[in-house]
Structure 1
């Protein structure tokens, strides 16, 4: 249905790239992914939500980005 940006985040081709950015930065936020990946807020937020669901990043911490819980060995 429709052409929304990656309706199913599980199949989002940018997930691995987003994960690499988060690991490199040591923090995660939707706004950072928007800037780095040049995507809209909704897509960036879905990527962040998936990372949290998978235990890769922690919960939001006020104005700071989310902490990265799994770094170098995830997905290898």
Structure 2
């Protein structure tokens, strides 16, 4: 039996200051606003310190404001992302 693997790579160029983009991933209010379609709401908390959990679904792994943010990502009931996502 083979194990299926899945990798998804997205690259986005955002016309905003690096600090603002970084903050959108570590600030709970900004995080909840940016992770759902208009008209929907999500509950988010953020504790942006390396190795600490963020409720959205993963762990902050490495933080160097504003140039680098690495975190894991997972959905409830799914295995944790084995590699850190990098921003």
TM-score (norm 1): 0.30
Structure whose residues are more often helix by fraction: 1
**Higher Cα Rg: structure 1 or 2?**
2
Pick 1 or 2: higher relative contact order, CA cutoff 8 A, min separation 6: 1
Structure whose residues are more often strand by fraction: 2
